Amino acid sequence: MEKIELENNTQKFITRTLISIVVVSVVAVIAAYVWKFHSLKLSDSTAIWGSFGDYLAGTLSGILTPVTVILIWLTYKSQKEESTNQGLIIVKQMDLLSQQSFEQTFFSWLQSIQNIRPIEKAEQASSEYITSITNEINNYLRYGITNTTDENYLGIMKAMADQLTGSYSHTYTRVKDDGHGWLDTYSYAVMEFISFIDENDIYPRTLEQKQQYVSILISHLNNGDRVLLGAFAISKQDIRYLDLLKKYNFFTKRSGQENVDRLLKVFQDTNIK
């Protein structure tokens, strides 16, 4: 806006300058007439008056013609800039309407998601999942540290690793079926909400803008919720959901809780083929 205002002021200055030049030139020509011919009668010498008329016409024509051309060009330029500025104003207004429409949907959807999630049961479900998986991880690590001399050490470690990988999915299903049937509904709602933000190409357009809205969503989740969302994506073998969670840093934001952070890192490193 400051640039546009500066250009408008510059154009006004040029226009005023040109008009001043024309006025001064006309006054100068008239002054020359007054000084040289004011005492000369028309009947004294028609040739002199004819020469003066030619001089006057030539002088004014030489001044007025380029000035007129410049003024026409300035008028055209002004109208073009006005049209461009009007277009920018319309675009900004459309962007504002798009933002308002998106945010209305965003906060309405966010509220509906919160209504699906029973707070106490959500904390219970995440606690059950984290505890169960942590025990399996610790058993795996404990065996790896204390049984290095076993004859079938490598084979047993691989079998335990495969079992542990499957447990990320199986434990989610077990917790869900054990009195937490709301988990799938809630997780689907959250993931489709993130997809809605991610796939919007009108507003928000940029990744930075989209990240801001996803951050608002994350602020309404606790650490256990993030773990359960990762477990949900893995249990459903849905690479799209898992990639979205990684893209918007659901797993990279640390909680300060060792068991939670360990699982978040596992999910961050997990790839679904």
- Please give, one letter per residue, the 3-state secondary structure of 67-115: HHHHHHHHHHHHHHHHHHHHHHHHHHHHHHHHHHHHHHHHHHHHHHHHH
Is the distance from CB of 180 to CB of 121 less than 8 angstroms?
Answer: yes
> How does pLDDT run across 221-263, given as a tens digit for each residue?
888 888 899 989 988 888 899 999 999 998 887 777 888 888 8
Most confident of 89-103, 118-132, 239-253: 239-253
pLDDT in tens, 1-33: 455 555 666 666 666 676 666 666 666 666 666
Domain borders along the chain are 2-95, 117-269
- Tell me the CA distances in angstroms from 26 to 29, 58, 71, 123, 255, one per residue in order: 5, 12, 17, 89, 81
Write the CB contacts of 27 (distance below 8 Å, at least 6 apart in sequence): none
H or E element: which one contains 60? helix 46-116
pLDDT of residue 139: 78
Note the maximum CA span of the chain.
136
For helices 182-199 and 119-146, the axis angle rounded to 10 degrees is 90
**For the segment 138-192, what is each residue's pLDDT rounded down to a tens digit?**
877 776 666 666 667 677 767 767 777 778 888 888 888 888 888 899 999 999 9
Q: What is the pTM (predicted TM-score) of this model?
A: 0.64
Supply the mean pLDDT for the chain.
Answer: 77
